[in-house]
Structure 1
Amino acid sequence: MELDHIKSQNLILFEAISGSRSFGLATENSDTDIRGVYYLPKEDFFGLHYIPQISNETNDITYYEIGRLIELLQKNNPNILEILASPEDCILQKNPLMDLLKPEDFLSRLCKDTFAGYAVSQIKKAKGLNKKILNPIDKERKSILDFCYILQNQGSIPLKKWLKTFPYNGGQGGLLQEKCGLVNIDNTKGIFALFYNESGDLNYKGIIQHEEANQVSVSSVPKDEKPIAYLFCNLDAYSTYCKDYREYWKWVSERNEDRYNVNQHHGQNYDSKNMMHTIRLLQSCEQIFKTNSLNIRVENRDELLDIKAGNWPYEAVMEKAEALISSIEYYHSVSTLPEFPDLEKTTKVLIEIRENLY
């Protein structure tokens, strides 16, 4: 089923402009998002062709089947509650049956998890993004050799540096890691005795067998051989690096370059548009518990657009978010809202709507 079909068959119950325009945050560059509600013809609803929602390719136009809409309202889904709370000047069409759905019948203490919980997850992403922008990782991937150190006197030196500068047999040519042999030292973690065999006749395995190795190699070493050094391999640090490397370059490959360039231009090292909406979501959550109602049209447009423009330092945005979270915790603790929406009552409303439609 396509969008054109539900329109041509007059199946739409509700249609409204959503997103920045409904929040009162639209600028000349803002997209126009549409959210709507439809119902399935009787034969599809009772048959095997239930379609819960329909979107266009870019997801800026999405319609929800009335049953799916109420299911999500009962879960206090923020996006769906915001559809129900659409300002009058954003509503494009509305079937009178939609008046049976009142936001106050769905608002509950569950909003703390859905509104604030989602916002907190976005804050964690913002912190992760901040870390990525401030700590770029070279494309050339390090090997485990970069996390190995030679114990020396009361400290240590990087293995690679030590290999280059070690005057083996009085020479100045350094050592080759391929001719080294490592032996585990009992009762230690990550510390090895290091042996060297210039001729290669002892068949040492080297410190690593190839550049992509995820651990050092150990060798069989004759008992009469003497170690020339002791090596420490920081495997935990290497594992953390591999995780950070993988996440960083995955982010680079998937990031929205236009938005990234905007964020780089204002120099605040966070996704300013995303954080604007995160603050807005926290404010909506605070409002729900302060007033037992939801009004999505913001009262601090200039402040929020100032955040979007990157005029707030990262620390200031995080401080505002944390203050809102603390306020939400307080108002939630004294809220008179029910723990959950009344499922029986709201399901009866759905049944009443369907009976009228069919």
Structure 2
Amino acid sequence: MTYATLKEQREYLLLECISGSRAYNLHVPTSDTDLKGIFILPQAELYGMSFTDQVSNDSNDEVYFEIKRFLELLEKNNPNILELLSTQQENCLFRHPLMDLVKPEDFLSRLCMDTFAGYAQTQIKRARGLNKKINQSFPETRKDILEFCYVVQGSQSLPLKQWLEANQLQQEDCGISRIDHFRDAYALFHRYQFPRPVSLKGLFSGAQANDVQLSAIPKGVEPVAVMHFNKDGYTVYCREFASYWDWVEHRNEARYQHNQQLGADYDSKHMMHTFRLLNMAEEIALYREVRVFREDRDFLLSIRSGEFAYDTLMQMATEKLTRIEELYAKSDLPERPDPALTQQLLIKIREEFYGKKK
């Protein structure tokens, strides 16, 4: 089974729904139309050596799950799957009568605390990281090791670059050796100290170096200075520098520019869906329902429009999570769905479908 084959052989469709922002009632004029659905494999393929559990188009905005994979994810209370099963009738393009056997209320459990609210917590952590990146600014050229080196001067430290400039020295003409029992500290020497030519390598090998480099220093020569390399600080800086520019390269530029225009230091669409998930987790505990169509559209779209400060959203999310935890602690929802029910449903759906196909 492939996406193209499924589109041609629609007799294997069990469910097809409009999904995403349009199903949530959160669409705006520029929103795409996403589709999700369920299919059942042709009987010959089911009995054969291959098994296709999911197909999608190239842009991944149309995704279809084989009935077994769908039920596996449903048993895990996967938010996307519970939403698909609970999509409102007006957004349902096709529904096979066999889908009436699968009822959302038979699968809702305390796992929704981990899947809906837990996923929202993950999104909040990502939002914090994104907030940091939006407010970071790294030049395209990475700082070199010298920016993280200092020399001891009296009872104080002096940036190595400043010390070299003051003494009219070049790092390439210097060499260093380790000082025992003194972490990331080095004895620093210069060529002028040696009457005979010595091979001093300089302090580091180049702009992309990750550590200082040592030179072979003749014995009996006193260093001109003691140098400390803040290696931990340099390592953190390099990691954040690489992470920032990777984010710049792969970010959704249109969404980033949208957030810049709003003056929002967070991904506003991302945060809107975080609160949607939190509200849905709360509703499951209160009403034992998955409410896909959002009556809280105005509130959620106000987040998308950047009307809230980042810190305000973080505080609201923290308070919401506390309330959700309390609701699930008191809820009479089962711990998890019954796996025996999942198996019975899968067998019954396959028997009914393939039996009728004969």
2:43 maps to 42
Alignment of 1:129-278 (within 5 A): 129-166=130-167, 174-198=168-192, 201-278=197-274
Moved more, 211-220 or 321-330: 211-220
Counterpart secondary structure, 2:258: helix
Distance 2:177 2:6 in 1: 72
Local SS of the residue matching 1:68? helix
Q: Deviations over 1:92-148 (max 9, x none)?
A: 111111011011111111112211221111111111111111111111011111111
Q: Secondary structure at the match of 1:175?
A: coil
For residues 186 and 5 of structure 2, what CA distance do their matches in structure 1 show? 71
- One-letter amino acid of the structure 2 residue matched with residue 176 of structure 1: Q
TM-score, length basis structure 2: 0.94
Q: Cα gap change, 1:15/1:162 in structure 2, threshold over 3 Å: closer, same or farther?
A: same
Q: Return the alpha-carbon distance in structure 1 between the equivalents of residues 287 and 21 of structure 2.
A: 23
Which whole-Å CA distance do the structure 2 matches of 1:311 and 1:79 have between them? 27
Distance in 1 separating the partners of 2:345 and 2:325: 31
* Unpaired stretches in structure 2, ≥5 consecutive residues: none
Q: SS of the counterpart of 2:341?
A: helix
Query: How far apart are residue 327 of structure 1 and its match?
Result: 1.2
Structure 1 residue 4: Cα displacement: 4.4
Once the two structures are superposed, residues 287-329 of structure 1 have per-residue CA deviations (whole angstroms, 9 ceiling, x without a partner) of 1122222112222111110100111111111112111111111
- 1:239-291 Cα shifts (integer Å, max 9, x gaps): 11111111111111111111110011111111100110011011111111222
Q: CA deviation at 1:54?
A: 1.2
* Range 70-79 or range 41-50, more displaced: 41-50
Does 2:312 correspond to 1:311?
no
**Contact 1:123–1:278 at 8 Å: present in 2 too?**
yes
SS of aligned partner of 1:211: coil
Q: Indicate whether 1:74 and 2:70 are aligned.
A: no
Higher deviation after alignment, 154-163 or 271-280: 154-163
Q: How many angstroms apart in 2 are the aligned matches of 1:278 and 1:49?
A: 37
Please state if 1:6 is matched with 2:2: no
Q: Tell me the SS of whatever aligns to 1:145.
A: helix
Asked if 1:287 is matched to 2:288, the reply is: no
Post-superposition offset of 1:208: 1.4
- Supply the distance in 2 between the matched residues of 1:192 and 1:3 (Cα, whole angstroms): 63
| Amino acid corresponding to residue 175 of structure 1 in structure 2 | L
Among the aligned pairs, what percent are the same residue?
46
The residue number in structure 1 matching 2:331 is 335
Code of the residue aligned with 1:146 in structure 2: it is: E
User: In the alignment, residue 28 of structure 1 is paired with which amino acid?
Assistant: P
- How far apart, CA to CA, are the structure 2 residues paired with 1:236 and 1:196? 26
SS at match of 1:230: strand
Residue in 2 that maps onto 1:320: 316
